[in-house]
Amino acid sequence: MAKKSMKELESAKGINTDVCSKELAITFLQGNDYLVPGKPIDLHTLAHILLQFRNVAIKVPKIITDGIRAVAFLMVNASMQQMASEIVVMVKQQLQEQMETFM
């Protein structure tokens, strides 16, 4: 699924954009001071950038504003769910190691 989505982004025809790869996306965001070089790029950061885009856009239709905010909220939620899943895995590993020492 992710590979298909990436291919669709890279091959988007008819869209007026110079951003057509992950590398160009990073270059664009860093060049416009949305990303700090060397800092990790996570879902929370990307959601914050989306919200910043909405603040600089003038006279954007409500559906675009709502769409940007919807994606930002869901990105933050996905980030929190991913973090919670990682914590659960770490706790399970620690418990498993402790259980093995008692056996």
Rounded distance between C-alpha atoms, residue 58 and residue 65, angstroms = 10
Under the banding of pLDDT at 50, 70 and 90, the label for residue 50 is confident
Q: What is the pTM of this model?
A: 0.62
- Cβ proximity of 79 and 43 under 8 Å: yes
Note the pLDDT tens digit of each residue in 57-97.
677 787 777 777 787 788 888 888 888 888 999 999 988 88
